[in-house]
Chains A and B, each alone.
Chain A
Amino acid sequence: MLNKYPMWKNLMVIIIISIGAFYAIPNLFGEDHAVQVVATRGAEVSASTMSTVNEVLKSKGIAVKRSELENGQLLVRVNNGEEQLLAKEAISDALGDKYTVALNLAPATPEWLEAMGGSPMKLGLDLRGGVHFLMEVDMGEAIRKMTEAKVADFRTDLRAEKIRYAGIRNGAKGIEIKFRDAETLTKAENFLKSRSNDMVFQDKTVGDDYVLVANPSEAYLKQIKEEALQQNITTLRNRVNELGVAEPVVQRQGAERIIVELPGVQDTARAKEILSATASIEFHMVDEKADVQAAMSGRVPAGSELYQRRTGGPVVLKKAVMLTGDHIQGAQPSFDEYSRPQVAINLDAKGGSIFSNVTKDNIGKPMATLFIEYKDTGEKNADGSVKMKKIEEVISVATIQARLGRNFVITGLEHAEAQNLALLLRAGALIAPVYIVEERTIGPSLGKENIDNGMQAMIWGMAVVLIFMLVYYRGFGLIANLALTANLVMVVGVMSMIPGAVLTLPGIAGMVLTVGMAVDGNVLIYERIREELRNGRSVQQAIHEGYGNAFSTIADANITTFMTALILFAVGTGAVKGFAVTLMIGIATSMFTCIVGTRSIVNAIWGGKRVKKLSI
């Protein structure tokens, strides 16, 4: 019989639309005011932290709506903004500085819904306010660091193998190793080749200069860049956590860039300072034999280097690094017995054993802490990238009193510096400097305004379209309107279901546009049915032909639009991507609702019956 859907097809339509609607529900609940507690390194958020927090809040008379412990962070929901502020204060007082306590807005999705994977759509920065940074990793610096390490490796390797070289340097063309004769060069080349297969060696002998040039291979170069990017992302993520931001985004973009989004953050200056600061420390022995005056006039002993103290005055340090900041596991600012600021440091196991060995041999001798920082000079290189300046300062020189282990303190800092250094050390050092190439700050009021505007546009557009369809197509118009509404609900549902999908202002525009364009499928079908009726077909035939003939048109038309959306998604960034995502989802759901969805209603009402006249 014509126009009868089998039961399973009707069921499928109902199930698919219900699933879409179900996952759209969490968007109705809004958000709770919440306080988020994250542990900084060395501490842990546990069940006992949770009970402490709950008790503190109880004693302050603040009602806790719900508190959850998830992924090592604690989220305490309270009733309103006022209590939220009080709660934050009370919690940070009670927990101390090992924890970061931040204000947050948590989706107020009921627990049972959350348990089934329901969560509201994630809003883009343009809808909730905050800071967006696009950062670029200075790959030149990452590569330079690697080659520097290779120079040291080559030096020790060649020495150990007793191959005499005349000189080794990190030149413009790569690592250049000079030899006195061709024979040694060949020997060295064979030896080094066997040891480091990630480098490419070239014999660049000209006249009496026997030079071997080493450069990283393409694959190794790629690996270095990849590692630099990954490591920097990890470090930035740690630092963002230190800022205590709720739901931050730290994402790679392309081969050299990182996106950082901090919703709700307004103090961009501090965010920037912490994100882009590349600081680390190194420990060196002071070269006591060196003559500082002579060093200042340029005669620095081999193996030593002249540095400036932060407090002023020069000091000569040995080049050899006793320990680098990589081994630092924790760092806390505190005060010594004379209430001078200091940073208490604890090292990882390997760092601890290295440090205990070197300090054991140097008791009674002065050791210096060198603070290294990369700063934006405000100038630019020829290629438009930001010129970074390496700043090295000796922040403290202290006599090693005893063998030091995994825990010790650094003194000689200002209070604020101690705070910042501790933070930076805890968060880990950036492997290569990063600089900000794009920055956007959206005020929270503007975000709200954007949502309101988008919603208004949607309501107006939708209302006019619904009324028109009803008036123009009557019964079938009502069905189209049902499909349109189901379509919108499904777009919201799918957007909420996909973890990576973010609703942005252009995304709302995409939804609005879907409303206008989704009508097209229905119009195509209905106009076909009308045409068939005019041509004198029976009602059942007209419905059947109408849907059948319109199908390939709808498919072709939508596939091409989908293609443009896909291209937009591939090349676009941020907000444009958001638009593309909503458009793609909208196309898929509108095809489903207008082809299968309306058909099942039409079939249920008119299918397989004797119908004289259609309400179309």
Chain B
Amino acid sequence: MLQVLNVKGTVNFLRHALPISILSAVLVLGSIVTLATKGINWGLDFTGGTVVELEFSKPADLNAIRTNLSSESVAGALVQNFGSSRDVLIRLPVKDDFKSEDQVNDVMAAVTQLDSAVIQKRVEFVGPQVGKELAEQGGLAVLVALICILIYVSFRFEWRLALGSVAALAHDVIVTLGVFSLLQLEFDLTVLAGLLTVVGYSLNDTIVVFDRIRENFLKLRKSLPEEVVNISITQTMSRTIITTGTTLVVVVALFLKGGTMIHGFATALLMGIFVGTFSSIYVASFLAIKLGINREHMMPVEIEKEGADQDTLMP
């Protein structure tokens, strides 16, 4: 039998809990500071504006494009490579007196001077008011997701665990956002989808651990919550490593092979999986212990719930 984790007895995960939670707190604070100072590099979906994706017949000279664009009076254009040296992305800000079509025409006029065989692969224009609405909706989505989870976990488990899991999720979201802000990666709609997936994934992880904690509180009759949590984490560790591993593999495949349009999505997930796995132990469980979770908290809910569940399972 192959095994990723071969441990005898219990690993004392919580021994390092304090320094690691301090590290976590520092990460969160650092992310908040970065977010406050550098902000987020909002993508087109949120800012409004025009994006033109071009494919040149030979590696493109970005500087020449920039020079040509400014002479064509397309002000404030952001020119960057996108995927390969032949693919170029040009972002134009929203202008008050704009006509998106004119902007695109000007861009095409400028780039065809450099390469007559250039292909226009994608053009997107988003009005500023749509972008603003999306940003509000996106923030609202994350908030609603967190509240729903708080309610569900409180109902299914216990409020201390619910708070622990939501704190862990908030932690993941903030740290992932922090990295996006620090590296100034573009935050678009697919990244938002990625972020919500991170919420789902990280929660998945937390719930698995919590489920074990609840079970062990009842089965083991140990009095020290730390012990129970340590045992539970040890027992679920090999599952955590395997699932994280397989998910990571496919996300890496998406990152490498999925193409440039879902790069942001894959990046958000990649970070989220690391942070999420780690936070389910050191943020969610640790916070629940600090909130004073113990055996009695599990008892009353347990008897009804688990009993009801078990019946349906018996064949």
Cα separation A5 to B313 with both chains bound (whole Å): 12
B179: CB under 8 A from chain A? no
Give the A-B pair count, Cβ closer than 8 A.
232
Chain A residues with CB under 8 A of B193: 506, 568, 572, 576, 579-580
Cα separation A554 to B207 with both chains bound (whole Å): 9
A48: CB under 8 A from chain B? no
Q: In chain B, residues 240-266, which have Cβ atoms closer than 8 Å to a Cβ of chain A?
A: 242-243, 245-254, 256-259, 261-262, 265-266
Q: In chain A, residues 555-571, which have Cβ atoms closer than 8 Å to a Cβ of chain B?
A: 556-561, 563-565, 567-568, 570-571
- The residue from B235, B257, B315 contacting A460, defined by CB atoms under 8 A apart: B257
A461: CB under 8 A from chain B? yes
Cα separation A365 to B207 with both chains bound (whole Å): 84
A117: CB under 8 A from chain B? no
Which of A460, A469, A556 has the most chain B CB within a 10 Å cutoff? A556
- Given the known A-B contacts A552-B211, A572-B141, are A464 and B253 also in contact in the complex, defined by CB atoms under 8 Å? yes
Interface string of B200-241 (1 = CB under 8 A from A): 110110011001100100000000000000000001101100
Chain A residues with CB under 8 A of B189: 572-573, 575-576
A380: CB under 8 A from chain B? yes
- Given the known A-B contacts A443-B120, A567-B196, are A512 and B203 also in contact in the complex, defined by CB atoms under 8 Å? no
Q: In chain A, residues 514-572, which have Cβ atoms closer than 8 Å to a Cβ of chain B?
A: 515-517, 519-520, 523-524, 527, 530-531, 548-549, 551-553, 556-561, 563-565, 567-568, 570-572
Interface string of B94-130 (1 = CB under 8 A from A): 0011111100000000000000000111111111111
- The residue from B2, B149, B201, B243 contacting A519, defined by CB atoms under 8 A apart: B243
Chain A residues with CB under 8 A of B207: 553, 556-557, 560
B148: CB under 8 A from chain A? yes
A186: CB under 8 A from chain B? no
- The residue from A380, A516, A548, A575 contacting B251, defined by CB atoms under 8 A apart: A516
Interface string of A385-398 (1 = CB under 8 A from B): 10000000000000
Chain A residues with CB under 8 A of B99: 376, 378
Cα separation A384 to B269 with both chains bound (whole Å): 35
- The residue from A272, A438, A564 contacting B200, defined by CB atoms under 8 A apart: A564
Cα separation A472 to B134 with both chains bound (whole Å): 44
How many whole Å from B308's CB to the nearest CB in chain A?
Answer: 10
Interface string of B298-312 (1 = CB under 8 A from A): 000000001001100
- Given the known A-B contacts A471-B2, A523-B239, A559-B152, are A515 and B250 also in contact in the complex, defined by CB atoms under 8 Å? yes
CB pair A379 B97 closer than 8 Å: yes
Chain A residues with CB under 8 A of B284: none
Chain B residues with CB under 8 A of A438: 125-127, 130
- The residue from B101, B148, B201, B266 contacting A517, defined by CB atoms under 8 A apart: B201
A513: CB under 8 A from chain B? yes
Interface string of B71-103 (1 = CB under 8 A from A): 000000000000000000000000011111100
Chain B, Cβ-Cβ closest to A446: B121
CB pair A443 B121 closer than 8 Å: yes
CB pair B251 A513 closer than 8 Å: yes
Cα separation A549 to B204 with both chains bound (whole Å): 16
- Given the known A-B contacts A439-B123, A513-B247, are A557 and B204 also in contact in the complex, defined by CB atoms under 8 Å? yes
- The residue from A516, A556, A580 contacting B249, defined by CB atoms under 8 A apart: A516
CB pair A509 B239 closer than 8 Å: no
Cα separation A18 to B160 with both chains bound (whole Å): 44
B172: CB under 8 A from chain A? no
Chain A residues with CB under 8 A of B200: 560-561, 563-565, 583
- The residue from A376, A383, A567 contacting B144, defined by CB atoms under 8 A apart: A567
Cα separation A579 to B265 with both chains bound (whole Å): 11
B53: CB under 8 A from chain A? yes
Complex interface: stretch among A201-209, A286-294, A337-345, A447-455: A447-455
Cα separation A2 to B152 with both chains bound (whole Å): 33
Chain A residues with CB under 8 A of B236: 527
B138: CB under 8 A from chain A? yes
- The residue from A456, A513, A558, A616 contacting B257, defined by CB atoms under 8 A apart: A456
Cα separation A515 to B313 with both chains bound (whole Å): 26
Chain B residues with CB under 8 A of A552: 211, 306, 309
B21: CB under 8 A from chain A? no
Cα separation A461 to B207 with both chains bound (whole Å): 25
Q: In chain A, residues 187-221, which have Cβ atoms closer than 8 Å to a Cβ of chain B?
A: none
Cα separation A143 to B56 with both chains bound (whole Å): 49
Chain B residues with CB under 8 A of A461: 249-254
CB pair A564 B246 closer than 8 Å: no
Chain B residues with CB under 8 A of A442: 121-122
Chain A residues with CB under 8 A of B269: 513
How many whole Å from B188's CB to the nearest CB in chain A?
Answer: 10
CB pair A561 B204 closer than 8 Å: yes
How many whole Å from B11's CB to the nearest CB in chain A?
Answer: 15
B293: CB under 8 A from chain A? no
Cα separation A445 to B119 with both chains bound (whole Å): 10
Cα separation A583 to B204 with both chains bound (whole Å): 14
Chain B residues with CB under 8 A of A446: 53, 121-122
Chain B, Cβ-Cβ closest to A456: B257
- Given the known A-B contacts A437-B130, A567-B196, A571-B138, are A465 and B122 also in contact in the complex, defined by CB atoms under 8 Å? no
Interface string of B1-35 (1 = CB under 8 A from A): 11010000000000000000000000000000000
Chain A residues with CB under 8 A of B211: 552-553, 556-557
10 A-B residue pairings within 8 Å (CB atoms): A439-B125, A461-B251, A465-B246, A506-B190, A509-B190, A509-B262, A520-B246, A551-B313, A553-B212, A580-B193
Known: A446-B122, A450-B261, A520-B239. 4 other contacts (CB 8 A): A506-B265, A509-B258, A512-B253, A579-B193
Interface positions of A (Cβ within 8 A of B): 3-5, 126, 134, 268-269, 272, 376, 378-380, 383-385, 436-443, 445-446, 449-450, 453-454, 456-458, 460-462, 464-465, 468-469, 471-472, 505-506, 508-509, 512-513, 515-517, 519-520, 523-524, 527, 530-531, 548-549, 551-553, 556-561, 563-565, 567-568, 570-573, 575-576, 579-580, 583, 616
Closest 7 pairs (CB-CB, A-B): A453-B259, A461-B250, A461-B253, A516-B250, A516-B247, A437-B127, A561-B200
